[in-house]
Amino acid sequence: MAPSPMTTSSPPIELSDRVASGRSSEVRKVFQAAMRRPGIISFANGSPFLGELPFDRLADEAHRILTELGSTALQYGTSNGIPELRRHIVDLMALEGIAADPEQVIITAGSQQAIGFVAHATVNPGDVVFAEGPSYAGAMAVFSSYEAEIVHVPSDEDGLIPADLERLIGGARAAGKRPRALYTVPNFQNPGGMNLSAERRGLLGRICQDQGLLLFEDNPYGLLGFDGGTMRAIQPDAPEITFYFGSFSKMFAPGLRLGWVLAPETMHQHLTDIAQTAALNPSVFNQLMMAAYLDNPSWRDTLATYRGLYRTKLEALVGALTEHMPAGTTWNRPTGGFYLWVTVPPGIDTHELVHEAIERGVAYVPGTAFYANGAGRSELRLSFCLPSVEEIRHGTAILGGLFTEALA
């Protein structure tokens, strides 16, 4: 009897060089393990808390859009997005000192996709992309998927250290490599939680310009400062080289899958072409939903509610860490965003222990996920946005117990 085609063991399919050379995502493995365990307290996900969203109003807007504009909402759209939403985006960016025209904005299905489009347009195999150490795992995965080398730049509480960037650019050049771009999350950095100081913003823009680097400025968290303030972006000081990425996933919700990129003018048509080739266009229905949400000024009140909520959660987390973590554990004090960065004493391997933590009902992301070079075994990222204050206290107690045991 001939074997069924579905059970024949066939030779594996040869992968493209770019995929064969990549490494699998550690974050994904943590998330998958965590999702298999119902009732887990997750400090892992960078998922916003959605409980304060005006779902009834959103439901009414969706109903109105599909009833009144259905044939537009469910049809193909333009690759750069709808003008109504691009105008809102320009207003949002103005809060950070960015003067843009709606025609310059390209809306994407999330800022993750926008980072991919820009990498596709600008990164060649072997190029060096500099990034904070630690840096956002998802962006590093994009650059790796285009065969770039990630080089981490040391950071302190004021963010990435400009002098170290200059030194590392020089080192890369001396080694015959091609420095291509700096990727940075200046506001409430993922995963480190720190804010890039105003002075360093200016310095980094100038260094990138002088050294011929592109600047990838990724800003999902800029409106989530606890005090409601927003810092000036780097883009206004270096518009000719800056690709600015924005997102609705953290200030509103990830479910509409909407973000954007503001690119140097000479790149606009190239990126629009890439967007069309990669995905045709972002959902018009979702864009109309997002524009309708922003049409009503109450979105600012909702955001203020979230800022207060996240501050309360962070305070609960810091209190619980103080109570439960073994001596020698340190952490920073973010002033906004989603993430707290924790350093544990020698003897605790966060990479090894994450599986036992999940067994005990708590998930986090080990520091190793945020370095391209294997560092991070004494570090971990705790997201305080999604769990409740009660879960934060309970989960931190479990983690503290696990780490204390590991030290003994």
Asked if residue 189 lies in contact with residue 218, where contact means CB atoms within 8 angstroms, the answer is: no
Residue 403 Cβ, how far from its own copies at the closest point, in Å? 28
The candidate with the shortest Cα–Cα distance to 136, out of 373, 345, 321, 371, is 371
- CA 66, CA 202: separation in Å to the nearest integer? 46
Residue placing its CB nearer to its own copies in the complex, 148 or 316: 148
Residue placing its CB nearer to its own copies in the complex, 40 or 284: 284
Residue placing its CB nearer to its own copies in the complex, 188 or 293: 293
Residue placing its CB nearer to its own copies in the complex, 56 or 227: 56
139 three-state secondary structure = helix
Residue placing its CB nearer to its own copies in the complex, 145 or 312: 145
Residue 67 Cβ, how far from its own copies at the closest point, in Å? 5
Tokens of 113: 């996709």
Asked if residue 138 lies in contact with residue 119, where contact means CB atoms within 8 angstroms, the answer is: no
Residue 66 Cβ, how far from its own copies at the closest point, in Å? 4
Residue 161 Cβ, how far from its own copies at the closest point, in Å? 25
First to last CA, the chain: 60
Asked if residue 351 lies in contact with residue 340, where contact means CB atoms within 8 angstroms, the answer is: no
The candidate with the shortest Cα–Cα distance to 91, out of 290, 268, 270, is 290
- CA 67, CA 62: separation in Å to the nearest integer? 8
Residue 6 Cβ, how far from its own copies at the closest point, in Å? 6
Residue 255 Cβ, how far from its own copies at the closest point, in Å? 3
- CA 43, CA 47: separation in Å to the nearest integer? 10
Residue 347 Cβ, how far from its own copies at the closest point, in Å? 33
Strand order of the β-sheet with 330-331 is 330-331, 339-343, 379-383, 365-366
Residue placing its CB nearer to its own copies in the complex, 224 or 267: 267
Residue placing its CB nearer to its own copies in the complex, 25 or 343: 25
| Integer CA distances (angstroms), 394 to 40, 121, 320, in order | 11, 46, 8
- CA 405, CA 408: separation in Å to the nearest integer? 5
The candidate with the shortest Cα–Cα distance to 91, out of 310, 335, 262, 346, is 262
Residue 390 Cβ, how far from its own copies at the closest point, in Å? 18
Residue placing its CB nearer to its own copies in the complex, 18 or 333: 18
